[in-house]
Amino acid sequence: MRRACLPFLPGFLALMASAAPLSAAEPPPQPASTQPANTQAANTQAASTQPGTFLYIVTPRPGLMDGMTDAEKQAIGAHFARLKDMLRDGDLILAGPTDPPTQGLVVFKAADLDAARVLAESDPAVKAGAFALKSVEPFQLALERPGPLPRDYVANPSDRVLHKHVVVKGSIDAVWHAWTTSEGFTDFAGAEAHIDLRIGGPFEILWNPDKTAPARGSEGMRILSYLPKRMLSFEWNAPPKFGPLRQQRTWVIVSFKPIGRDQVDVTIDHAGWGQGADWDKLYLYFNDAWDYVLGRLAKKFA
């Protein structure tokens, strides 16, 4: 059974790392076996009619690794893509396999137990028969991690700041829209974007078009602050090829300065760098990457 779960184990573990637990809630109730029958019934009824947190458990079908079809591979990829969407939308709390990985657990938010069942039953891997749905039940969330945490950033960042700048032809309204909306960024950069202009809102740019890939871009990055039509700051991470550095967040400040009515000076300052050879390579990578992004922006408004 361990071998059957190996293809999707990295994805589960990555999701677990992105959704570690966060803020205090009510203490968990007594185990169901110690509660009177009428109390258990009342709890079940309440869970089915009130918004809450739920758990569903899946198990891989026997022999999945030895007999996985192309349709099953595609369904498992869609399974992880949906979990990432739920994580971005704030509905996924935790997902991952047991060890040994004989089953997968998904903890999520739903309107009620009926809605939770619908969501679990519509899991692409469940519908394809690659996973069997073992159970769907209410889950009492006692602690939930608020993030990001200090450990997500470099403890003693260097003073180095990557500075980039371009003047584009366009109104401040149009250029601001290009950086602060999903459709605006996708339009000029050519990458799938998930942007919600609010403190803590997502700023995710998915450069890899393969929706089944374990990591596609800046998943989990968030907006830190903004001044309307003047400044936008957000977290940023390294591409997957940089290994452990991907787990460290840097930050980017984009400044907007109108020049007359039809030009805007756009400046990028990228900070929060660590020290060492690997960080030097990452710095050089983003030196070219931000040139590419600003070049696309200038071309869009040419």
pLDDT tens, residue by residue, 119-167: 999 999 999 999 999 999 999 877 766 667 778 899 999 999 999 999 9
The predicted-structure confidence for 74-116, as pLDDT tens digits, reads as follows 998 899 889 988 887 778 888 988 876 688 999 999 999 999 9
Architecture of domain 2-138: 2-Layer Sandwich (3.30)
Q: What per-residue confidence (pLDDT) applies to 5?
A: 40
Q: What per-residue confidence (pLDDT) applies to 150?
A: 77
Angle of helix 182-189 relative to helix 172-180, nearest 10 degrees?
A: 100
Task: Read off the pLDDT band of 43 (50, 70, 90).
Answer: very low
Residues in contact with 277: Cβ distance below 8 Å, sequence separation at least 6, in sequence order: none
pLDDT over 70 percentage in the chain: 80
Tokens 């070219």 map to which residue?
288
> Do residues 203 and 222 make contact, with C-beta atoms less than 8 angstroms apart?
yes
The predicted-structure confidence for 254-268, as pLDDT tens digits, reads as follows 999 999 999 999 999
Task: Read off the pLDDT band of 206 (50, 70, 90).
Answer: very high
Q: What per-residue confidence (pLDDT) applies to 98?
A: 81
Question: What is the greatest pairwise CA distance in the chain?
Answer: 73
Task: Give CA–CA dist 233/221, Å, rounded.
Answer: 11
pTM of the model: 0.62
Task: Place domain 150-300 in its CATH homologous superfamily.
Answer: START domain (3.30.530.20)
* Residue predicted with more confidence, 44 or 215: 215
Per domain, the residue ranges of the chain are: 2-138, 150-300
